[in-house]
Structure 1
């Protein structure tokens, strides 16, 4: 597969989305269905004047159907679908029906409202559908076809891979989603994770939930579940992307949000950081010391917190001195969240835990 290039600031290699792969496979399969020949490699047209070429890893033409598979290359992004075989089976459709999409093995089906597709539809997102339709029309124009086709997309081992994604929680069952708005995977942009956060909020709203929780990990998710009894589809796997949760809720409010996580990550949120990844923000013991000083603590404790190795070390020093640093961090994190929500009608509370899952601070 021809690679689009490298991301300028990091030198990392771009890759292609499952949507781009499905488009390439469909284009080659429909071409073979009309001409008897598979274009290998097959070139497709994407936004931003990109024209990637894909080598065919699988091709079959028999019994009025053409099947093509291409291997997804996610570039240097740690994508769960990197190396997966994405295939399209194309057959002629009824006159006037246009492109009909079906979920093959390893591609999920939508079972809950709130997603950008109706319940019962294959989990092939709107933009990949548009890419496929445009390329089917172009192939039909070149080779005298009608453009009326049935496209069945499949992903080898997709059902197994989907267990590592948000799909089961979002109500996408049976496999993966075919994703991508530009066709390009930008390394470490985590765009699919952020998109899953947005879809999780949509699903929660469609289910009528008035309380959702953004959790940094499985331990905080367990604590929030025990604390509030929230159903699974009200739990947002926020990870490091606090900003993504808050930004989407600012535009699409739900009455109540709980933010839950370890003291290290929530100390960063309290300090104004919205991306909590260790590579993109750091815990400031100076900021923690300022909180402790503002709480009226003695200079020795302030200095101890300032020179602490970790947020957990600072927490333990404060606990020994009878000060709840967790509550201070929770209050600071809540303040950051409310400030970023900019008056949106969302009540916010914060739950801070230690590594063992013990609640060490709350606010709101």
Structure 2
């Protein structure tokens, strides 16, 4: 993939996700199934809006089925899936459906709380949608096809990930909300987001919105807030608070998904799961302090996502619990900056929407609203 971004003075190449690889393989296999002709490459549009033209490999054409592969490229953010082959088999079926399933190396979901139902292959909603849409573009009217995604190397790769702990067994997940992998060299990325803050300072902007990721950015749009001062901190919340002090920022409104921000309520300022993951312990202990039932506390501790954990929290206690959590987040952040910056907090979840805001965060929301 020939697209680059400069971070920290380094030119870093973008890559594409397992979801884009599976989409391209499925599209290519479907085209060859109905034309009978091999193709060298295939073009897809990613959710990010970028077009990709990817080489097609390992083509096997039979009378009623075709199988091919796309090599996954992580760009200059190499991970455990970089360079692996992602296969799609397209098989002619009766009817006009597009049936999508998984094969070897694609994990199966065995626990509640994930984006995919128990018993289904771990092909997440966005890539599932892009695969089906890409296949329909190639599907002749009145005909149907079964698409099977397989990742043979995924069996071994999954053993080195958190997938078994999350309840995804037998392989890896097909992921990607944008379809594109942005290079994330940690030091280079930290330099780049610090530079964003520096640019705002030079523009005379003293009030900023911090959010860990894309979910927060989208929620800021839902809240109709001014987004010219929005910075995605990624997992580096403590680092960015330190930089805010250095750059004389006066106000910070945190708008974050509970899955990240709950860690901050426990004093964890680098929120990557490989560094620290005490989400359920923090949630359960605060709920227990409100008199939560032991069974619910145990269920929270055994949950694999915060959305799932919230299901076990008594509705009558939710408001109190999230008021406590947002206040703790605000206080931990203020302690980090030695009370030199006005800080407010808003937390939400994808499933439940707005969960809570501290009093300062509520005032900031009103101040930051678009006219």
Superposition TM-score, scaled by structure 2 size: 0.55
Unaligned residue ranges in structure 2 (runs of 5+): 190-211, 216-234, 236-255, 286-297, 307-317, 348-353, 359-371
Residue 340 (1) aligns with residue 353 (2): no
Residue 36 (1) aligns with residue 36 (2): yes
Q: How does 1:1-364 map to 2 (within 5 A)?
A: 3-9=1-7, 10-96=10-96, 98-140=97-139, 144=140, 146=142, 148-188=144-184, 201=259, 231=301, 233=303, 270-271=335-336, 339-341=344-346, 344=355
Asked if the contact 2:87/2:151 (under 8 Å) is kept, the reply is yes
Q: Partners in 2 of 1:68 and 1:199 — Cα distance?
A: 38
Alignment deviations for residues 239-290 of structure 1 (CA, whole Å, 9 cap, x no partner): xxxxxxxxxx99x969879x9xxxxxxx999535xxxxxxxxxxxxxxxxxx
Q: By how many angstroms is 1:91 displaced? A: 0.5
Asked if the contact 1:136/1:147 (under 8 Å) is kept, the reply is no
Q: By how many angstroms is 1:178 displaced? A: 0.6
CA, structure 1 residues 51+217, in 2 after alignment: closer, same or farther (shift >3 Å)? closer
Larger Rg: 1
Q: Partners in 2 of 1:17 and 1:183 — Cα distance?
A: 5
Asked if the contact 1:221/1:235 (under 8 Å) is kept, the reply is no
Asked if the contact 2:3/2:14 (under 8 Å) is kept, the reply is yes
Superposition TM-score, scaled by structure 1 size: 0.56
Q: By how many angstroms is 1:30 displaced? A: 0.8
State the SS of the aligned residue for 1:136. Answer: helix
Asked if the contact 1:70/1:86 (under 8 Å) is kept, the reply is yes
Alignment deviations for residues 210-253 of structure 1 (CA, whole Å, 9 cap, x no partner): x999776778669x97x9798464599xxxxxxxxxxxx99x96
Residue 218 of structure 2: aligned partner: none
Asked if the contact 1:34/1:145 (under 8 Å) is kept, the reply is no
State the SS of the aligned residue for 1:100. Answer: strand
Q: Partners in 2 of 1:111 and 1:255 — Cα distance?
A: 33
State the SS of the aligned residue for 2:134. Answer: helix
Q: Partners in 1 of 2:68 and 2:51 — Cα distance?
A: 19
CA RMSD of aligned residues (A): 4.6
CA, structure 1 residues 39+12, in 2 after alignment: closer, same or farther (shift >3 Å)? same
Q: Partners in 2 of 1:14 and 1:22 — Cα distance?
A: 17
Q: By how many angstroms is 1:166 displaced? A: 2.9
Q: By how many angstroms is 1:126 displaced? A: 1.3
Aligned residues: 253
Asked if the contact 1:169/1:232 (under 8 Å) is kept, the reply is no
Q: By how many angstroms is 1:15 displaced? A: 0.5
Alignment deviations for residues 325-350 of structure 1 (CA, whole Å, 9 cap, x no partner): xxxxxxx9xx99x9434695599xxx
Asked if the contact 2:94/2:143 (under 8 Å) is kept, the reply is no
CA, structure 1 residues 51+159, in 2 after alignment: closer, same or farther (shift >3 Å)? same
Q: Partners in 1 of 2:214 and 2:167 — Cα distance?
A: 15
Unaligned residue ranges in structure 1 (runs of 5+): 203-210, 237-248, 260-266, 273-290, 292-331, 348-364
Residue 282 of structure 1: aligned partner: none
Asked if the contact 2:113/2:305 (under 8 Å) is kept, the reply is no
State the SS of the aligned residue for 1:120. Answer: coil
Asked if the contact 2:72/2:86 (under 8 Å) is kept, the reply is yes
Q: By how many angstroms is 1:32 displaced? A: 1.2
CA, structure 1 residues 50+195, in 2 after alignment: closer, same or farther (shift >3 Å)? closer
Q: Partners in 2 of 1:170 and 1:183 — Cα distance?
A: 22
Asked if the contact 1:29/1:38 (under 8 Å) is kept, the reply is no
CA, structure 1 residues 63+199, in 2 after alignment: closer, same or farther (shift >3 Å)? farther
